[in-house]
């Protein structure tokens, strides 16, 4: 019984860490790990093994997880230059619309806010051809050239889906370590914006998730559904244990 109790407490502690905001200025319960990986050639095509050493997350439609995914890793271009490398697979988007966009937001100092601050950055890739960088002003966004950004995209099949869909690879110069991050994909054909974290806004850094830099290779992360399952298991095991104690 003691082992069951210790196991239960361990699971509860793990789930608590997952759901509690690591930093109060980010959305509680949403964390990803930006691990070190091999530098990818940004060409909009997924090469063999290129992204297997990266964090993999799913985008939300409202509060519902979709099969549309993103990956991220921290890759060294040279001794003084690091990229955040991002891969988006929008499996549900198979059409070429000028209004489509991908967004990546950074809160570089994790100070949050209800409006973009001067340490916040937004990468906006629109119409599968135009990438722009913005910096916060305290009230909104202004054009910036502070960071290098490289983007390439194709409509192609991949191991995730044989149906050709949008694949977008993005390099963003990253001079920071831990940050607040938000990603989003808009499909003009459906009018839907898919995102991580769910129900977040590019204009509200308090809504961003916590992105932790790791100097090790990181496999794909736990989804929120897995964390809920762990919580449920902890409750069930704990309930059975305490019932036995009461009967004794």
Residues with Cβ within 8 Å of 223's Cβ and at least 6 positions away in sequence, in order, are: 57, 58, 65
Residue 12: CA atoms inside 13 Å, Cβ hemisphere, count?
Answer: 12
Q: Could you tell me the pLDDT band of residue 80, with boundaries at 50, 70 and 90?
A: confident
Q: H helices then E strands: how many in the chain?
A: 2, 13
Nearest-angstrom CA–CA distance, 141 and 169? 23
What DSSP character marks residue 245? H
Given a contact cutoff of 8 angstroms between Cβ atoms, the answer to whether 38 and 53 are in contact is: yes
Given a contact cutoff of 8 angstroms between Cβ atoms, the answer to whether 208 and 181 are in contact is: yes
**Full-model pTM:** 0.81
Which two structure tokens, joined as six digits, stand for 220? 């794909």
User: Which parts of 127-218 fold into alpha helices (H)?
Assistant: none
What DSSP character marks residue 135? E
Q: What is the pLDDT of residues 138-162, one digit of tens each?
A: 999 999 999 999 999 999 999 999 9
Residue 103 parent element (H or E): strand 101-107
Nearest-angstrom CA–CA distance, 219 and 222? 10
DSSP string over 153-171:
EEEEEETTEEEEEEEEEEE
Least confident range of 45-49, 101-105, 177-181: 45-49
Q: What percent of the chain has pLDDT over 70?
A: 78
pLDDT the model gives residue 13 = 46
pLDDT the model gives residue 5 = 44
What is the CATH architecture assignment of 25-221?
Sandwich (2.60)
Residue 36 parent element (H or E): none
Looking at residues 209-222, what average pLDDT do you find? 81
Q: What is the pLDDT of residues 13-22, one digit of tens each?
A: 444 444 444 4
Mean pLDDT, the chain, rounded, equals 84
Looking at residues 111-125, what average pLDDT do you find? 98
Q: Could you tell me the pLDDT band of residue 217, with boundaries at 50, 70 and 90?
A: confident
To the nearest 10 degrees (0 to 180), the angle between helices 2-19 and 224-247 is 150
Residues with Cβ within 8 Å of 71's Cβ and at least 6 positions away in sequence, in order, are: 51, 54, 55, 56, 57, 86, 87, 220
Q: Which residue has the higher pLDDT, 100 or 244?
A: 100
Given a contact cutoff of 8 angstroms between Cβ atoms, the answer to whether 67 and 247 are in contact is: no
Domain positions in the chain are 25-221
Which two structure tokens, joined as six digits, stand for 97? 């619309």
Looking at residues 180-192, what average pLDDT do you find? 97
Looking at residues 198-221, what average pLDDT do you find? 90
Nearest-angstrom CA–CA distance, 49 and 41? 12
């Amino acid at each position: 019984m003691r082992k069951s109790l210790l196991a239960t407490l361990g699971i509860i502690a793990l789930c608590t860490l997952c759901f509690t905001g690591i930093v109060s200025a980010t959305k509680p319960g949403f964390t990803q790990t930006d691990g070190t990986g091999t530098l990818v050639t940004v060409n909009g095509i997924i090469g063999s093994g290129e992204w297997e050493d990266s964090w993999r997350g799913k985008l939300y439609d409202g509060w519902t997880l979709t099969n549309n995914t993103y990956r991220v890793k921290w890759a060294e271009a040279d001794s003084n230059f690091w990229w955040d490398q991002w891969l988006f697979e929008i499996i549900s988007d198979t059409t070429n619309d000028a209004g489509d966009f991908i967004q990546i937001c950074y809160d570089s100092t994790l100070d949050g806010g209800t409006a973009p601050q001067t340490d916040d950055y937004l990468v906006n890739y629109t119409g599968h051809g135009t990438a722009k960088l913005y910096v916060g002003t305290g009230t909104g966004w202004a054009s910036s050239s502070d960071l290098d950004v490289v983007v390439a995209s194709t409509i192609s099949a991949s191991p995730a889906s044989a149906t050709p869909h949008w694949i977008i690879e993005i390099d963003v110069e990253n001079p920071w370590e831990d940050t607040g991050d938000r990603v989003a994909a808009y499909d003009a054909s459906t009018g839907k914006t898919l995102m991580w974290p769910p129900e977040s806004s590019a204009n509200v850094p308090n809504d961003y998730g916590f992105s932790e830099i790791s100097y090790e290779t990181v496999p794909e992360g736990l989804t929120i559904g897995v964390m809920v399952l762990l919580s449920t298991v902890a409750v069930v095991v704990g309930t059975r244990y305490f019932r036995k104690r009461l009967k004794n």
